[in-house]
Amino acid sequence: MHLLTDAIVLATRAHGEHGLVARALTRDDGVQPGYVRGGRSRRLRPVLQPGNTIRGEWRARTAEQLPALTVEPLHSRSVLHAEPLPAAGIAWVTALTAIALPEAQPYPRLHDGLDAVLSAIEAAPAARGWAGTLVRYELLLLAELGFGLDLSGCVVTGTTGDLTFVSPKSGGAVSRVGAAGYERQLFPLPAFLIDGGQPDGGDLLAGLAITGHFLTRDILTDRRAEPLAARERLVDRLKRAVA
């Protein structure tokens, strides 16, 4: 195996006395793990922070062998890790991607979507400037993994107008008429998930409630549920930030 490409660092774990194993998302080759010799050194540790963009070179003699990875920094977002809210956003979105995606399967739309979220956090550290983009990325990840929500029309009446709720069972939109009598059993559907734009505080939290439900139910199950603690910390911070 020999791969030379740009990638977004998703996660790292210590390996041996000085090295670490990094997982990074490439656009055309999916998630790629690699052993970085000296990865815990003062020089390389900042380069391998989640959210940074690197140029990586992976080499392995066999397909079964963990590749050796050498890295070159391309774009650092390390400074954002010193700010609690942006740091929480980066920690969650990279951890989600790292654990949800299988290795070596290309997801170019998710690569571009993740880059968009990280760029939005970098451009507008205030949550109102990027949190809506993060919710849309969660929806995109659900869709790319086969668990997409259908917000194109009402699952009860078939109409496409006045969509105001989401079914927690089917993931389909429900109109006001279709929801009559069952409103308390449904998620409110925030307008920005259909119309675009940046949500206000109430709509943002409604969007997070929807994506959180389906991520927990369909993707982050059993051993993969560990990143949910990072999401809970992020949601708590967002509640305070948009209050």
- Region 203-228: mean pLDDT is 93
Closest CA to 190 of 110, 128, 135: 135
Q: How does the average pLDDT of the chain come out, rounded? A: 95
Q: Where are the domains of the chain?
A: 2-76, 79-154+158-242
What's the whole-model pTM score? 0.95
What value does the mean pLDDT take over residues 10-39? Answer: 96
Q: Which pair of structure tokens corresponds to residue 183?
A: 């409103």
SS3 state at 99: helix
Percent of the chain with pLDDT over 90: 90
- Going by pLDDT thresholds of 50, 70 and 90, the confidence category of residue 243 is confident
Could you say which of 3.40.710.10, 2.40.50.140, 3.30.160.340, 3.60.20.10 is the CATH number of the domain covering 2-76? 2.40.50.140
Q: Where are the alpha helices (DSSP H) in 38-130?
A: 84-100, 108-123
In the Cβ-directed half-sphere of 138, how many Cα atoms lie within 13 Å? 28
